[in-house]
Amino acid sequence: MNPMSSQATLNNFVKEKRNTKPTPEHSEGWKLIKLESIAFIRKGTINPLDFPEEEFELYSIPAYHIKEKPEVKKGKEIKSSKVLVYPGDCLFGKLNPRVQKVWLVGPNNNKRQIATTEFFPIISKEKPNGKRWFLPEFLFFILKSPNIQERIIHKVLGTTASRQRLSPNDILEEEIPCPPLEEQRRVVARIQEIMSRIEQAKKLREEALEDTEAIMQSALHQTFSKVEEKGWEWKGLGEICNHVRYGLTAKSSRAPEGILFVRITDIDLNGNLKLTEPHHVKIDEETYEKYSIRMGDILIARSGATAGKVYLCNVEQKAVFASYLIRFRLKEDIVMPRFVFYFLQSPLYWMQLQISKVGGAQPNVNAQNLKCLRIPIPPLEQQVTIVAYLDNLREKFCTVKKYQEESQKEIEIMSQAVLRKAFSGKL
């Protein structure tokens, strides 16, 4: 299916209506009931260390953010007490509600299910006739809807993200619509029908982005392969550098005072500087001169899951770099910094890096390993031509990637619009 036609279909299927006031919305004929009257929060805990060889399905915050699938871990690998949960429980994140964390516990696959205590497990109470007030899927979609999310966020306005922790009452005092079970089934079926189309569009966007990244990697591979046939010379990274230095160990802050402090988390996998939460450090002039970054400098991450990612300083900005980065100052009479940068994005670089990594679960690299990396060096005039070609390709790649990311955001907005309409009685 064409991504654009999928988008058009979805736009015709549901149009978003925005609300600025976080007030309850519901379909006429659906009565609003406080959640505490018809639901409760499960409280039973377990210490998995008491069952070291048993495998558990763990609903954790990291697992939610990575792929929304529980981790399977043995009890001995889980270091703290967890909440026992069961299929159909709706998990609502306590911490920083600005970042939505709502999860429906799935089938147990013959394993006990547990969740971090950073989730509230919310379960429907039973009516006098033994039936529950809610279908699990209906409660799940309500808790994910902007109708609820906006009001929850409103309760923590004015506090910093690290202190935005919800109490049980913040959730249970919410008024939510409670239609008959048959109406709930109809609404859930309708939401699932639309969401399946949205997921299809989302998958198409992700595949298009993967294809775009593959084209860039293929171009880098072609550029830096068959070196001997091209008559290029191999040199170690250390041979083409004037200076190599580890970064500064210092306490930084978000306050915009002092010098910009570039950290490993400020660099993305495509070599861009992403200063969404810039940190600064107060240092003297001598320290600045020692750890400064200037145009053409290359920083390489030396530790963690993203060891090896690279940043080329290409802007005039007063900054220093942190201790988990290594600075390489190149001999620009031999190599163009952008040529080296592109090699450090190529499959050949990453293949060499994997061989040179040392350590356990999160292997590291050090300056000595990196200086030994072999780089093919053509004459400077050829480097100019290659860099111009790759710059042009990268510009196109970045344009397509930006479009795909914006498109993904539109799809997320559409998902929220569907839920808002569903619980306003407009589906």
Q: Mind listing the pLDDT tens digit of every residue in the chain (427 residues)?
A: 444 444 444 445 444 433 444 445 555 568 889 999 999 999 889 999 999 999 999 999 989 987 789 999 999 999 899 999 999 999 999 988 888 899 999 998 899 999 999 999 999 999 999 899 999 999 999 999 988 888 888 887 655 554 578 899 999 999 998 899 999 999 999 999 999 998 888 888 888 878 888 888 999 999 999 999 999 999 999 999 999 999 999 999 888 889 999 999 899 888 888 888 899 999 999 999 999 999 999 999 998 778 899 999 987 789 999 999 999 999 999 999 999 999 999 999 999 988 877 655 556 889 999 999 999 999 999 999 999 999 999 888 888 888 877 887 888 888 888 888 888 777 7
- One-letter amino acid at 88 equals G
pLDDT value, residue 413 = 85
Q: 251 and 344 share a domain?
A: yes
Residue 286 lies in a domain: yes
164 and 279 in a single domain? The answer is no
Looking at the 3D structure of the chain, how many domains does it have? Answer: 2
Indicate the residue among 360, 377, 394 that finishes a domain.
Answer: 377
Q: Can you give the pLDDT at residue 96?
A: 85
pLDDT for 14 equals 43
Determine, yes or no, domain membership for 213.
Answer: no
Residues 41 and 166 in one domain: yes
Same domain, 129 and 262: no
pLDDT value, residue 140: 94
Residue 270: CATH number of its domain: 3.90.220.20
The closest alpha carbon to 83, from 38, 50, 113, 52, belongs to 113
Is the residue at 306 inside a domain?
yes
* Overall size of the chain counted in residues: 427
Separate counts of helices (H) and strands (E) for the chain: 13, 20
Cα dihedral value 291, 292, 296, 301, nearest 10: 40
Which residues constitute the domain of residue 106?
A: 31-178
Do 241 and 163 fall within a single domain?
no
Task: Specify whether 36 is located in the same domain as 168.
Answer: yes
What would you measure as the largest C-alpha separation in the chain, in angstroms?
A: 84
Amino acid 362: pLDDT: 58
Looking up tokens 């050829």, which residue turns up? 382
Same domain, 174 and 35: yes
Q: Label residue 265 exposed, middle or buried (CB < 10 Å: 0-12, 13-18, 19+).
A: middle
Question: Are residues 173 and 240 both part of a single domain?
Answer: no
Chosen domain end from 178, 209, 243: 178
Question: Is residue 198 one of the residues assigned to a domain?
Answer: no
Quick one: pLDDT at residue 115?
96
Sheet of strand 325-330: strand arrangement: 241-246, 325-330, 298-301, 310-312
**Residue 17 included in any domain:** no
Q: Which of 115, 149, 178 is the last residue of a domain?
A: 178
Residue 153, token pair as written in the block: 């966020």
Q: Are residues 162 and 246 in the same domain?
A: no
Together in a domain, 266 and 155 = no
Structure tokens at 351: 């293949």
Instruction: Specify the pLDDT at position 312.
Output: 95
Tell whether 258 and 337 lie within a shared domain.
yes
- pLDDT score at 15: 43
The rounded distance, in Å, linking the Cα atoms of 30 and 424 is 9
Q: 388: which residues sit within 8 A by CB, 6+ positions away?
A: none
Domain presence at residue 410: no
Q: Does residue 421 sit within a domain?
A: no
Q: Which residues pair with 243 in a beta bridge?
A: 329
Are residues 287 and 159 located together in one domain of the fold?
no
308 backbone φψ class: left, alpha, beta (φ>0; ψ -120 to 50): left
Domain assignment present for residue 366? The answer is: yes
